[in-house]
Structures are given as structure tokens and as C-alpha cells.
């Protein structure tokens, strides 16, 4: 063997080429960074007007799962109706509206919720719109994967959201008014807390109730719309009666 051939053989042994099944250090680092990100779990809410203000209420866990399965089925959502609340309400998935089945009631907006911010007048969290939540989730995914934080976004209503880190995300109100040059909004005042995922906010989510009806109760009350000393309607009292009955059955079983 010549000296040149011996030198080439020594180089091939000391610096072997990577096999097709091996991963470079860069690929391993990239895989580790990407594995930190997990898609957010959505939960479905509906909006009701209570004391002249909007209140977002979560569907029970069973109804939310049914809505999510219908949403993710790949079929056209237009004309798709999902029964909820034991069959008392129907959700028209394409319209994102919730309708009462057995009585007259104003329809409620329905939303697939993943990102929330704390309201300014109470401690209840308000869901962002579905479209802006997708923007927030995409920005969060990039921040986690690349480990690049302090991301600043502007909402459609010109409010500022800053993602400082996974545990600190804030929402600022826009500055009132702007000059003739159309200045961009900046953060001001006390920031609102931003949360990702329903598991990170304080909200009661019930288990749900069966669609099959096992008995029927007729309720008759006196003159006027109020049904009890709390001036609730017969619909509210009837729903609470069914809820208490269901809780009692579960407690006994």
C-alpha cells in the first residue's frame, strides 16, 4: 500500500460520513426545541347577556367534545346542527349560534376558544375571536420553537398583546385617539392577563348530561314572569331543577 492510499484510509476511519439513519447535532437540537410546543386544546363557549353585559359561559365537557368532533370531521359545517344541554339547545355550527329548542329565547353566539384575556371590570376571562386566536397560537408556536420571546402583536381593535414568556403574556388597551399621521398604538395603563387554554383560567366546566330523557316534569306557576323569590323565569328554574336532579343521581351512583 502506498503512502497516499494509507493516508486516505486513515482519514476515512477518523472522519466517517454520517449514515442515513443518524441525526446531526443540529437536527437533535431542532427536535428538542420543537418538542416543547404542544397544540392548544380548544373548548367551546357561548355568550349570554347577563345584567346588560356579555358573559362567556363554557359548554359542559361532553357538549364541547361533540362540537369539536363535528368541527374537525372535515365535513362542511354549514347546516350542521349539534344538540347540546340535554337536547334543550341546538348549535348551528356554521353560523356559530346557539338556539333554544322548546321556548323563545335570543340566540347566543358560539365560539371555539383557545386564548383568553381578563376583563377590565371583573375577574372573568373573555375569549379572543377565533381568527385572532389562530394568529396568537402561530406566534406562540414560533416563540416556543425558536426560543424567541417578547413578541408583540396588534389585535384588530388596535390593542397590543405581548408574549414575554410562556408564563407572562399581557394585553394593553390602545391609546385613546391618534394624530393626523396615524400613529401606531403603544402599551399603556395596567395590563390585562392573557392565558392560553381553558385549563389555565378559573372557570367551572360541568360533566354534561345524557340526551336520553328518562322522565318528564310539568311545572305550573302563578301570574307573571317571575317563578320564584329570586324573580327568575320558569325556564331558569326548570333548568336548575334538572341540574339538581342530575347531581343527585351522580352522587348516589
According to the model, what pLDDT value does residue 67 have? 96
Q: For residues 78 and 173, what is the distance between their CA atoms, to the nearest angstrom?
A: 35
Q: Give the residue with greater pLDDT, 162 vs 31.
A: 162
Q: For residues 167 and 172, what is the distance between their CA atoms, to the nearest angstrom?
A: 17
Q: What average pLDDT does range 132-144 have in this prediction?
A: 96
3-class DSSP state of 184: coil
- pLDDT tens digits for 86-111? 889 999 999 999 999 988 899 999 99
3-class DSSP state of 144: helix
- pLDDT tens digits for 175-217? 655 555 555 555 566 789 999 999 999 888 887 776 677 777 7
Q: Contact, 62 vs 207, CB < 8 A? A: yes
Q: Contact, 136 vs 152, CB < 8 A? A: no
According to the model, what pLDDT value does residue 31 have? 43
Q: Give the residue with greater pLDDT, 85 vs 10.
A: 85
Cell triple for 236: 331558569
- Kind plus residue range of the DSSP H or E element containing 13: helix 3-14
Structural domains of the chain ordered from first start: 25-113 (3.30.720), 115-196 (no CATH), 214-253 (no CATH)
Among 171, 204, 206, smallest CA distance to 55 is for: 204
Cell triple for 137: 397560537
Q: For residues 79 and 52, what is the distance between their CA atoms, to the nearest angstrom?
A: 31
Q: Contact, 114 vs 197, CB < 8 A? A: yes
Contact residues for 33 (Cβ-Cβ < 8 A; gap 6+): 144, 145, 146, 147
99, burial (CB in 10 Å: exposed 0-12, middle 13-18, buried 19+): middle
Q: For residues 49 and 156, what is the distance between their CA atoms, to the nearest angstrom?
A: 23
Mean pLDDT of the chain: 80
Which of 64-68, 91-95, 146-150, 246-250 comes out lowest in average pLDDT? 246-250
Q: What is the sign of the dihedral through the CA atoms of 247, 248, 249 and 253? A: positive
Q: Give the residue with greater pLDDT, 71 vs 11.
A: 71
Q: Contact, 83 vs 90, CB < 8 A? A: yes
According to the model, what pLDDT value does residue 176 have? 57
Distances in Å between the alpha carbon of 250 and those of 83, 118, 220, 246, 253?
22, 33, 27, 6, 5
Q: Give the residue with greater pLDDT, 249 vs 101.
A: 101
Q: Give the residue with greater pLDDT, 73 vs 230.
A: 73
**pTM, entire model:** 0.74
C-alpha angle 200-175-47 in degrees, rounded to nearest 5: 40
Amino acid at each position: 500500500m502506498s503512502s497516499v492510499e494509507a493516508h486516505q484510509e486513515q482519514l476515512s476511519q477518523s472522519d466517517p460520513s454520517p449514515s442515513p439513519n443518524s441525526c446531526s447535532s443540529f437536527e437533535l437540537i431542532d427536535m428538542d426545541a420543537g418538542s416543547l410546543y404542544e397544540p392548544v386544546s380548544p373548548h367551546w363557549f357561548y355568550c349570554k347577556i347577563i345584567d346588560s353585559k356579555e358573559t362567556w359561559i363554557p359548554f359542559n365537557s361532553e357538549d364541547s367534545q361533540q362540537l369539536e368532533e363535528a368541527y374537525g370531521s372535515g365535513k362542511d359545517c354549514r347546516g350542521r346542527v349539534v344538540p347540546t344541554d340535554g337536547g334543550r339547545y341546538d348549535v348551528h355550527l356554521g353560523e356559530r349560534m346557539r338556539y333554544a329548542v322548546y321556548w323563545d329565547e335570543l340566540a347566543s353566539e358560539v365560539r371555539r376558544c383557545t386564548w383568553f384575556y381578563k376583563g377590565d371590570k371583573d375577574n372573568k376571562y373573555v375569549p379572543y375571536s377565533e381568527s385572532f386566536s389562530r394568529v396568537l397560537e402561530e406566534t406562540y408556536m414560533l416563540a416556543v420553537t425558536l426560543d424567541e420571546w417578547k413578541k408583540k402583536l396588534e389585535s384588530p381593535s388596535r390593542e397590543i398583546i405581548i408574549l414575554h414568556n410562556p408564563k407572562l403574556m399581557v394585553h394593553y388597551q390602545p391609546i385613546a385617539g391618534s394624530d393626523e399621521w396615524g400613529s401606531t398604538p403603544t402599551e399603556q395603563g395596567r395590563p390585562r392577563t392573557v392565558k392560553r387554554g381553558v385549563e389555565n383560567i378559573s372557570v367551572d366546566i360541568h360533566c354534561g348530561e345524557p340526551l336520553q330523557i328518562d322522565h318528564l316534569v310539568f311545572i305550573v306557576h302563578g301570574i307573571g314572569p317571575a317563578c320564584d323569590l329570586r324573580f327568575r323565569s320558569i325556564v331558569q328554574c326548570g333548568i336548575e331543577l334538572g341540574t339538581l336532579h342530575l347531581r343527585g343521581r351522580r352522587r348516589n351512583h
